[in-house]
Structure 1
Amino acid sequence: MKSIFYTVSLILLFFGPMVNAQDQILTKQEAIDLILENNLDIKVARNTKLIDDNNADILNSGYLPSVTGNASGSIDKQNSEGVLGNGDTRTAEGAETRRYSAAVNVNYTLFDGLGRYYNYKSFQERSEQSELEVRQTIENTILQLFTVYYEAARLTENTATLEQALEISKDRLKRAQYQFEYGQNTGLDVLNAEVDINTDSINLLNSKQQLRNTMRDLNLILNRNLSAQFSADTTVTFVPGLQMENMYNEAQMNNVRLQIVEKDINMGLNDIRVAKSGYLPTIGLTGTYGWNESNNNSPLAFVLQNTSTGVTGTINLTWNLFDGGTTITGIKNAKIAYKNQEIAKKQIRLEVERDIRNAWDSYTNALYVLEVQEKNLQTNQNNFKRTDERYKLGQITSIEFRQAQLNLLNAELAKSQAKYNAKLAELQMLQVSGQLLNVDF
């Protein structure tokens, strides 16, 4: 029995400094700053947002003209023979003709049935939707962060509580040994005390291991060195004055899922308008500035060199009177897709209503459990204090003392669990209502 006790004690001495060395507290705000800067999912979402911003730029709108330049040159060598009016015959051996040209062309669509306009609006809607998706990723990541962060805080409190329990058990063992030496009790009390110390030591050892594992999980979310040492802030504050009606109204207006599907509906409406633009004509403007030069050394040529420059402007109108039904089919499909998006919005609205009501019930229930556990802890603290006094006077047995100690330990652990459950329930409710990024943690 003593060998087990000493083995566990040595393990605690070895692992204890690893936990106690974590003196630097990683505050909640520091954790948020780190995750906003380093988290890979957030980086990907932000890069996607940059792509959508580029697509929504005027350079991708189709409103700007296209300008092209072209140039060419050619050399033509021919043997030719010709008969003049007076009957003389002339020949040209290897007569060379050189031609050069250059031009700048400008093409601009004046009107395309408003398809360009609604495509541009869809790009802008998509850019705004992408911003909402970045926010959604941040919300989910922050909720994941605090799920792990508060677990680390809970295990920190549990470890401290188990350390106190171990110290109480050690004091009890010393007392039992003194009493045994002076003949005031049997060796059974000493053995029981040693067994309880071993139990408390193992529980503490397991708690420290869980804490280290959770800290590695948190470092992984923060995308930093997994062996980074820190302590979690165990302070928990709740947002005051929350009311179900306000949370419900906030969810209807600010829930990110509803806002994203609203953008889908706007883009679907624009798709219908783009499809309808196929019924209208397209009017385009083309302008060309060109230069041409031709050199001919043939004695049979009337003009040996010719140079010309000029500007040409053209307005053209194209009206697809019938395209085989492609436009009609496109409009029908766009309308069906739009109806599906409206159905999706109704479904999401119902889900959000369910989520906010469930989150509120979980939140209020968690607060009630926390209140009960706090009262239960106070009761067990008073009970243990009195039990300890009676135990010192020899009025109760070591078994009764141990039971009071376990009751106090369980009450402290339950209260800690209830505190963090309530906070996580609050964060989940704030996320559904769209207020998660607007509160202090």
Structure 2
Amino acid sequence: MMIYIKNIITALLVLVAIQANAQTILTKKEALQIALENNYGVKIANNNLAIAKNNSSIYNSRHLPTLSTNAGANYNNSNQEIERQDGTITNVNGAVTKTYNASVNVNYTIFDGLGRKYNYKQLKETYNLSELQARETIENMYLQLFSVYFQIARLSENTKNLQEALKISKQRLKRAQYQYEYGQSDRLELLNAEVDVNNDSISLINSRQLFANSKRDLNIILGVQKNIDYSVETDVEFITLMSYEALLEKAKENNVILQQNKKNIAISEFNIKANKAGYLPTASLSGSYGWNKSDNPATSFLAGSNSSGLNAGINLSWNIFDGGSTKTRVANAKIALENQEILKTQHIETIENTLNNTFESFQNALFVIQAQEKNVLTNQNNFDRTQERYKLGQVTSIEFRQAQINLLNAQTALNNEKFNAKLIELELLQLTGDLLNVEY
């Protein structure tokens, strides 16, 4: 409980700090803390887990006895005519009869064919399954959160590059204006420079719009209702992964889908045993302590009665043949188990295929990042040299613009590949069950 309160306080302090400073960096770790406390899907998953915990309690297992109490009173007022054996008749108007009763009853099932034992085990496994389902929800939230978080980071980097490109284009436009005014170039050069400034301005506006939209999307995932201005971390570091064979072994052991499948198999096995309880007898104990009193009218043989005492008994029942319903339930439970075994095989094959594809995609992405980094350096050097030659009048504005576009495209491609590779890495971690174990 103290840890839960501490986490809430930490998340609130993070929100307050972000609101207090418009340029506060929202780190990945802080974003996770806020989302774990406020994300709507996570809240629902935690509530479902609480329900499963209540259902798995001993109070829901039928292992405990039941205790009840009853009390009542009756009043009767009637006109009565009594005819005796000797032929005499007596009429009584307003004959009143009063009865009172109270009792305490206890019932306990000694043996029910082991049905409640396996039902109780089913409930425990259902709780474990709910834990895994909550974990799956949190894992999916992680991926959703980082998908938007890295989208913001990517757009942040791309926006900076577009701002720099627009700045360079404006400088070129100013140069073209001076050259046109002094007759050193024709109007076409000026018009080309104006078109490029307009295009770069449009690209920057669109990027800023996507940036703002992504921030609002992140606020939804974080469960934050106010529009908060913040920046995000743009540095990316990749973890050292194991071999594919080691990752596959880990996935078969820790993947949340496979673990849920194992729990469903265990639940199905207990369900078969619970249904087989219908073949066995049941035994139960019952006991009560009661009090009864009556006040009778004059027409009654007794003027009244008063009794109290203890009553106890044992009951044994055996449904020798129930029309085949137990047999049907057991047969269906076995088929349900078989379905779970089939799903397990399917899930293993699917995870193997997905892991293989994701692992290769990640390896390719790392290679492409290295190639794009070299490409950015090459285009940067080419642009710098072209810019110097453009200032000296040795290259045309078209050649200069092409060098500028090549550099911008290379920077954008590197940013896109960098953050896409990080998302692929997170998908690998989810497949192997390590997504929640990594420090962010």
Instruction: Provide TM-score, normalisation by structure 2.
Output: 0.89
Equivalent position of 1:54 in the other structure: 54
Match of 1:322 in 2: 321
> Contact 2:39–2:221 (CA<8 Å) still a contact in 1?
yes
Check whether the contact 2:92–2:299 (CA below 8 A) recurs between aligned residues: no
- CA gap 1:88/1:344 in 2 versus in 1, 3 angstroms: closer
Structure 2: 5+ residue runs without aligned partners? 1-20
Determine the C-alpha separation between the residues in 1 that align with 2:25 and 2:31: 10
Residues in 2 aligned to 1:99 and 1:200: alpha-carbon distance in whole angstroms: 96
2:7 counterpart residue number: none
d(CA) in 2 for partners of 1:154, 1:160: 10
Supply the distance in 1 between the matched residues of 2:122 and 2:300 (Cα, whole angstroms): 64
> Which residue is equivalent to 2:353?
354
Which whole-Å CA distance do the structure 1 matches of 2:320 and 2:125 have between them? 31
Greater Cα shift, 170-179 or 359-368 = 170-179
Alignment match, 2:391: 392
Q: 2:82, 2:299 within 8 Å by CA — same for their partners in 1?
A: no
Query: After superposition, what is the alpha-carbon deviation per residue over 1:165-188, rounded to whole angstroms, capped at 9, x for unaligned?
Result: 111112222333344445544444
Q: Partner residue of 2:284?
A: 284
Q: Is the 8 A contact 1:109 1:283 kept in 2?
A: yes
CA separation of 1:309/1:199 partners in 2, compared to 1, >3 Å: closer, same or farther?
A: same
Match of 1:121 in 2: 121
Q: Is contact 1:118–1:271 with CA below 8 Å preserved after alignment? A: yes
Partner of 1:394, secondary structure, is coil
- Does the CA contact (< 8 Å) of 1:92 and 1:300 recur in 2? no
Contact 2:74 2:98 in 1 (8 A): yes
Q: Give the drift of 1:263.
A: 1.1
User: 1:90·1:300 contact (CA, 8 Å) conserved in 2?
Assistant: no
C-alpha separation in 1, matches of 2:343 and 2:352 = 14
- Residues 388-430 of structure 1, C-alpha deviation per residue, up to 9 Å, x if partnerless? 2222333322222222111111111111111111101101111
Do the aligned partners of residues 178 and 299 (structure 1) sit closer, same or farther apart at CA in structure 2, a change above 3 Å counting?
closer
Q: How far apart are residue 52 of structure 1 and its match?
A: 1.4
2:35 match: 35
In 2, distance between residues paired with 1:203 and 1:318? 81
Residues 244-253 or 221-230, more deviating: 221-230
**Aligned alpha-carbon RMSD (Å):** 2.3
* Aligned-residue offset at 1:297: 5.4
What displacement does 1:440 show?
2.5
Q: Does 1:309 align with 2:308?
A: yes
1:192 maps to: 192
Task: Tell me, in whole angstroms, the C-alpha distance in 2 between the residues paired with 1:97 and 1:179.
Answer: 121
Residues 235-246 of structure 1: pairs in structure 2 closer than 5 A: 235-246=235-246
**1:130 paired residue number:** 130
Q: Tell me the amino acid that sits aligned with residue 151 of structure 1.
A: Q
One-letter identity of the residue aligned with 1:410:
N
Q: CA–CA distance in 1 between the matches of 2:220 and 2:333?
A: 44
Per-residue deviation at 1:92? 7.1
Deviation at 1:256, TM superposition (A): 0.7
Q: Residue in 2 aligned with 1:10?
A: none
Q: Following the alignment from structure 2 to structure 1, what is the Cα–Cα distance between the partners of residues 83 and 191?
A: 132
Q: By how many angstroms is 1:30 displaced?
A: 2.4
Q: Is the 8 A contact 1:56 1:120 kept in 2?
A: yes
- In 2, Cα distance between the equivalents of 1:71 and 1:258? 54
Per the alignment, residue 3 of structure 1 pairs with none
CA displacement at 1:34 relative to structure 2: 2.5
- Structure 2 equivalent of residue 100 of structure 1: 100
Indicate if the aligned counterparts of 1:104 and 1:290 stay in contact, CA closer than 8 A: yes
**Secondary structure, in 3 states, of the residue corresponding to 2:321?**
coil
| Amino acid in the other structure paired with 1:71 | A
In structure 2, the residue matched to 1:144 is: 144
CA deviation after TM superposition for structure 1 residue 78, in Å: 6.1
Gaps of 5+ in 1: 1-20
Q: Sort the Cα spacing of 1:300 and 1:49 in 2 relative to 1 into closer, same or farther, 3 A.
A: closer
CA distance in 2 between counterparts of 1:210 and 1:240 reads 32
Give the match for residue 293 of structure 1: 293
Measure the CA separation in 2 of the matches of 1:241 and 1:75. Answer: 84
Paired residue secondary structure (2:197)? helix
Alpha-carbon distance in structure 1 between the residues aligned to 2:157 and 2:82: 109
| Other-structure match for 1:8 | none
The whole-number CA distance in structure 2 between the counterparts of 1:160 and 1:126 is 51
What residue is the counterpart of 2:432 in the other structure? 433
Q: Are 2:341 and 1:345 equivalent residues in the alignment?
A: no
Give the equivalent residue in structure 1 for 2:6.
none
Give the count of matched residue pairs: 418
**What are the residue-to-residue correspondences of 1:355-374 with 2, within 5 Å?**
355-374=354-373
**Shift of residue 81, structure 1, vs aligned partner:** 4.7
Match of 2:264 in 1: 264
Distance 1:184 1:93, change over 3 A: closer
**What code does the residue aligned with 1:434 have?**
G
1:439: Cα distance to partner? 1.0
Following superposition of structure 1 onto structure 2, how do residues 150-299 of structure 1 map, counting pairs within 5 Å? 150-225=150-225, 227-296=227-296, 298=298
Distance 1:97 1:217 in 2: 75
Tell me the CA shift for residue 83 of structure 1. 6.2
Aligned mates of 1:219, 1:89 — CA distance in 2: 95
SS at match of 1:284: strand
- The separation in 2 between residues aligned to 1:153 and 1:347, in whole angstroms, is 37
Amino acid aligned to 2:333: A
Matches of 2:324 and 2:195 in 1, distance apart?
Answer: 86
Matched residues in 2 for 1:430 and 1:50: separation?
A: 27
Cross-structure match for 2:411? 412
Structure 1 vs Structure 2: percent identity of aligned residues? 51
